[in-house]
Structure 1
Amino acid sequence: MSNSAIDISLLGRTYSIACPKGQEEALRSIAKGVEQQLTNLKARTNNLSREELAIMAALNIGYELHEEQQKNKQYMAQMDERISLLQSTLENSLLERTKED
């Protein structure tokens, strides 16, 4: 799959970013979220440089990703428990049925 370049704008600056074909809208959506983070941070803290805003936004986004990964791990553990319980219930039912036959 080849890449194409798309232009995104963050805090008034335009960047040309390489993007796999077919993923342009996903990258634009991500850029929109990053722009929102940057704009919110800039509004709350006028004295931060562009670099400091980018670092703060990256940390915020990293924290959000970490939280989602933790939720995913918890969900997977719950599903593993449920699957084990279901498997055990099925095995017990099959054993009881075999004993009856």
Structure 2
Amino acid sequence: MSSKAIDITLLGRTYSIACPEGREAALRHVANNLEKQLTSLKARTNNISREEIAIMAALNIGYELLEEQQKNQEYIKQMDEKIGLLQSTLEVALVDRATKAD
């Protein structure tokens, strides 16, 4: 898959980022969300460097990712339990049916 460079602006600086063709809109969406978070952090903090703002944003995004991963794991666990219950219910029904047929 080929890629091309697209320009992304974060906190007033423009960066040329390699992006797989067809994924430009996704990268721009992520960049817009990051810009919102960076701008919000910059507005709430006093005189901290771009590096510190970027670190804070990375930690916030990492925390959000961790929360989503935990939610997904809980959902998978719930679905596994429901599938197990469904399987055992089907097995009981099939055994009952087989015994009634005898």
Same fold (TM over 0.5): yes
Tell me the alpha carbon deviations over residues 11-69 of structure 1, each in whole angstroms, 9 at most, x when there is no partner: 00000000011100000000001001100000000211000000000000000000000
The 3-state SS of whatever aligns with 1:48 is coil
The share of aligned pairs that are identical, in percent, is 70
CA–CA separation in structure 1 for the residues paired with 2:20 and 2:81:
38
Q: Taking structure 1 as the reference length, what is the TM-score of the superposition?
A: 0.99
Paired amino acid for 1:58: A
Paired amino acid for 1:89: T
| Structure 2 gap segments, 5+ residues each | none
Which runs of at least 4 in structure 1 moved beyond 6 Å after TM superposition? none
Counterpart for residue 27 of structure 2: 27
Q: Taking structure 2 as the reference length, what is the TM-score of the superposition?
A: 0.98
Q: CA RMSD in A?
A: 0.5
| Structure 1 gap segments, 5+ residues each | none
Paired amino acid for 2:81: E
Aligned pairs, number: 101
Counterpart for residue 92 of structure 1: 92
